[in-house]
Structure 1
């Protein structure tokens, strides 16, 4: 397959590209910085990998078999000021709109368009188990971002192009992401639960994240939203205790919710909202998780840390 990928230098994208090239797919990466991308993907420079910095010269996507759209400003790196919210939204919506426009302009469009989203779509659902069938009405920022993002992507759907939406949980990887930010206090023996610790954390190992995307690329009857998270989400307190145990560190330094809100403002919802999301559609289609439980996932990652 010839596959166009946006967000290819991110945590998920770079690992996905490695897997796809290993299976001899031809990859074209849309990037804002060719130099930065070559540095990030330098281990793949001798493989069939092409970098482009703009879609402006593209009149259609006839020569692509698939598009994987992972581009977007990191949602947790800065406080959600009005300006940052605009950056978060437009970095997702604009590129998705352009890709949809090019798919519509194609006489032989890609057979599948896989586009990012997040479990933030669901907002705070407390302790209730949820799957992709849940209908949500919410004014929360994360829900608004994801809803608009998904609605734009769904416009690409036709009898020739199926659309899959990746409602992604917290991706656990030894190469960065959320876990890297969590590790420092634990390594100093100051780890502990956040807020009440009862809020559910939908997590997924990077291996399963990438394999699930490959699965959706090649499963021709897969379409619609998919929860990209392990079958067994856990409360924050359980996650925290398991991480401390894996690192052989104490677990006692709880962080009150008000401190998180003081530091993060509105974006504290990323840590305090509870989303007990289940990957119902993936498992019903026959996808098998290698890391369905948290402890083996964390052990593998901690062993692989640089």
Structure 2
């Protein structure tokens, strides 16, 4: 199988590529710099530039590229970049695929559980309506750009990913040093849900959907047991053998430090469950947060 992958330098893309190549699959990555070999091809999503000859070779396309959500304050320019990096890239690929003579059999496109907004205690699955806020608006626009590929008959999956647990960075990267100092604490009320998935399960689920003809539409890539921020804090402290602080970090302090990202990316969250993934008979390696954290760390 030949798989085209974007976002290959990111945490998820690099893990997926290692897994695919480890099994002898052919992977071609789309890169924004001069290619360094036959396994790379140049693209510029902002200008709609893409080598369609490379796409003709593909059995599958996995599109993961997009600017990071966290790490920087959401200035107006940053918010435009977050939106455009997702919309432009997805539009470029989906439209190109729709016009291919030899179309890939499956197109997997990144998305996020931010689609659901803040659901508090309400459980949501792939049939639930969208929420409100900047992230929910971004995800709706992002997912809509996959439609040309889907309308052209390509099996299209929207990967609504939650908080991916990895010892190599991602969501755990900025908080591990704090917890290792024994300074971990709940954030805000601590009651907001943080839907999570171990990186091995993320890769396993994506590979499952590459082959499963029933996989299509939105799919939540989260473990079956989402936890609150307070429970996540306690569990991470126990895994690291470190105490956690009894008092929470106030929401106003987080907003001062992180700006709008704190309000949408930290202090609220959806209680999302992987109903469709379970219906596809995907078997999770990690359904217990403590086991998952111990494994990735």
Shift of 1:266: 1.1
CA contact (8 A) 1:127 1:274 kept: no
Q: List aligned pairs for 1:100-115, cutoff 5 A.
A: 100-115=94-109
Structure 2: distance between partners of 1:261 and 1:223:
37
Determine the structure 1 residue equivalent to 2:227: 234
CA contact (8 A) 1:110 1:160 kept: no
Structure 2: distance between partners of 1:30 and 1:277:
31
Structure 2: distance between partners of 1:108 and 1:171:
34
Structure 1: distance between partners of 2:167 and 2:185:
20
Shift of 1:17: 0.1
TM-score, normalization by structure 2: 0.94
Determine the structure 2 residue equivalent to 1:2: 2
2:289 corresponds, among 291, 294, 306, to 294
2:80 corresponds, among 69, 82, 86, to 86
2:185 corresponds, among 188, 192, 204, to 192
Tell me the SS of whatever aligns to 2:39. Answer: strand
Q: Does 1:147 align with 2:136?
A: no
Determine the structure 2 residue equivalent to 1:215: 208
CA contact (8 A) 1:59 1:105 kept: no
Shift of 1:257: 0.8
Determine the structure 2 residue equivalent to 1:250: 243
Q: Show CA shifts across 1:176-218 (max 9, x none).
A: 1111111111111111110011111000000000011001101
> Please, which moves more after superposition, 241-250 or 98-107?
98-107
Tell me the SS of whatever aligns to 2:27. Answer: strand
Change (3 A) 1:228 1:248: same
Determine the structure 2 residue equivalent to 1:73: 67
Determine the structure 2 residue equivalent to 1:52: 41
Shift of 1:53: 2.1
Tell me the SS of whatever aligns to 1:156. Answer: helix
Shift of 1:159: 6.2
Change (3 A) 1:57 1:280: closer
Determine the structure 2 residue equivalent to 1:42: none
TM-score, normalization by structure 1: 0.91
Q: Show CA shifts across 1:28-83 (max 9, x none).
A: 10112358xx7xxxxxx9xxx70122263624632211110000000112111110
Tell me the SS of whatever aligns to 2:224. Answer: coil
Structure 2: distance between partners of 1:223 and 1:293:
27
